[in-house]
Amino acid sequence: MRALAPALVASSIAIAAGGGAARAGGAGADPARDGGAGARPAASTFSPQAIVAGAAKAAGGGAPGLVLGVPATSGAAPPAPAPAGGAGSPTPSGATASAPAGAGGVIGGCVDSVPGGATRPILTETFPDRGTTGYAAILRISVEHGKGETVLPRGLELQSAGDAAKFLRDASFVVPDQDGGGAARLTPGEADPKKPDRAVTVLELPLVPLPKDPGRQVLRVPPLPVAVARASGEIASVCTKPHSITVEDPTASTPDARPKPNPPAVPQREEWTSLKRALQWIAAGAVLGAILAYALRRWMKRPRPVPPPPPPRPPWEVALEQLDEVRHAGLLDVERYGEYFDRVNDALRKYLGDRYGFDGLESTTDEILGALEKARLDGDLSRDAVRDFLRECDLVKFANVTPTPEECRRALDAGEKIVRSSMPDPAPRRGEAHGEARP
């Protein structure tokens, strides 16, 4: 530390003097805007690396180290490479021989230090030869180190007030924000199978060239330190080689570039998103309502089972009701005796047909009597009474005999008697079925 103190003071003085000289040289120069190299002669003459190297040499010892760091756990992909410019050829630096204790050196202001007894890491670097202003160029560093050693153990700590930031600013380079999408990236590489005790780690560091002057510029990346931590906790610092890159302005291919006028006016079309969404919902509701209405109509017009017809009324109830209607029709008062007799005759014939299973209205008297001979008569029905009644009705109907009112009433009473005598016995009640006496 005592040896580094004079170097730090000398470095500060030399950087200040170099910066002033650079500004003085730049004030009197007219940078070329036609794509020629050497647009910044002052910067190339008084480069920060030469100043720091001269200061370190004057101090007779080491030089201040660059404090550069990228979080080793960063997983963000580096920015896209510059549209123009190809990748530079790999540049190895370092040796595999064991370094003596306290071995170190200064490369363009970067402190190169390897602890005693440690194997020096080997760096293989690639950097594009050409690029575009404002587009990141990727510095790819492949570090071959011993197994168990960690590259950038504390990450890349770029201090805005430190030497690394100052050197990069003076060289017109900017490191993107490591919290954004342009963060550096550490990935494991492919180790040599012939070296089982060695490992490879790849560091991809994006650098954005931002020259102060327009036109084509040749920029130089200063050496940057790469720290490797051993298992014992000792830190080895190896510096990269300086790299040059030719950058072009995005408008360098346009001669005499001037501001372009505004484009012609374009009719603006307003889109009513809320109305469109409302109409979509209304259309969907209408379709759904139509489907529901159709389904409801089909359901209401579905074939329904026909309710069973009511049980037929007993034929004796129908016959007694018809005879009662004849009794109260008033036919005898108007002397319509023939009609009176016909209605009584039809009521009894229909009853006998329904009661014993034949068509009584379409059967003759002989056919009715023949059917009754074959049928099993219920109750106290007498075939002779039925025969006398039907013969008397035939005389009135076919012989044109006019009955008297008394004969009409007698025929009605005879018909009611025939119906009642043929009615089945009512079903006995539960108590009567078991032989219990009715109260």
pLDDT for the residue 67: 41
Taking only the tens place, the pLDDT of each residue in 322-368 is: 999 999 988 888 988 888 988 999 999 999 898 888 888 888 888 88
pLDDT level of residue 184 (50, 70, 90 thresholds):
confident
Q: Enumerate the domain spans of the chain.
A: 62-248, 315-421
- Structural contact between residues 78 and 184, judged by C-beta atoms closer than 8 angstroms: yes
pLDDT for the residue 61: 36
Q: Which residue has the higher pLDDT, 341 or 377?
A: 341
- Structural contact between residues 136 and 174, judged by C-beta atoms closer than 8 angstroms: no
- pTM of the complete model: 0.40
Using CA atoms of 234, 237, 238, 242 in order, give the dihedral in degrees to the nearest 10: 170
Residue 317 token pair = 């109830």
Portion of the chain with pLDDT greater than 90, in percent:
21
pLDDT for the residue 138: 93
Instruction: Sort 292 into a burial class: Cβ within 10 Å, 0-12 / 13-18 / 19+.
Output: exposed
pLDDT for the residue 243: 94
Q: Which residue has the higher pLDDT, 108 or 73?
A: 108
pLDDT for the residue 65: 36
What is the C-alpha separation between 340 and 325, in angstroms, rounded?
A: 11
Residue 65 token pair = 């180290």
pLDDT for the residue 183: 82
- Structural contact between residues 33 and 90, judged by C-beta atoms closer than 8 angstroms: no
- The full DSSP string for 405-422 is HHHHHHHHHHHHHHHHHT
Residue 220 token pair = 């130089």
If you ran DSSP here, which 8-state letter would residue 156 be given? B
What is the C-alpha separation between 370 and 17, in angstroms, rounded?
A: 154
Taking only the tens place, the pLDDT of each residue in 195-253 is: 888 899 999 999 999 998 888 889 999 998 888 888 888 888 888 999 999 998 877 56
What is the C-alpha separation between 245 and 132, in angstroms, rounded?
A: 10
Looking at residues 260-272, what average pLDDT do you find? 86
pLDDT at 18 over 60: no
What is the C-alpha separation between 350 and 362, in angstroms, rounded?
A: 9
Taking only the tens place, the pLDDT of each residue in 95-127 is: 433 444 344 566 666 778 888 888 889 999 999
Cβ-proximal residues to 30 (8 Å cutoff; 6+ apart), any chain: none
pLDDT for the residue 385: 87
Looking at residues 57-82, what average pLDDT do you find? 37
pLDDT level of residue 302 (50, 70, 90 thresholds):
confident
Looking at residues 70-81, what average pLDDT do you find? 36
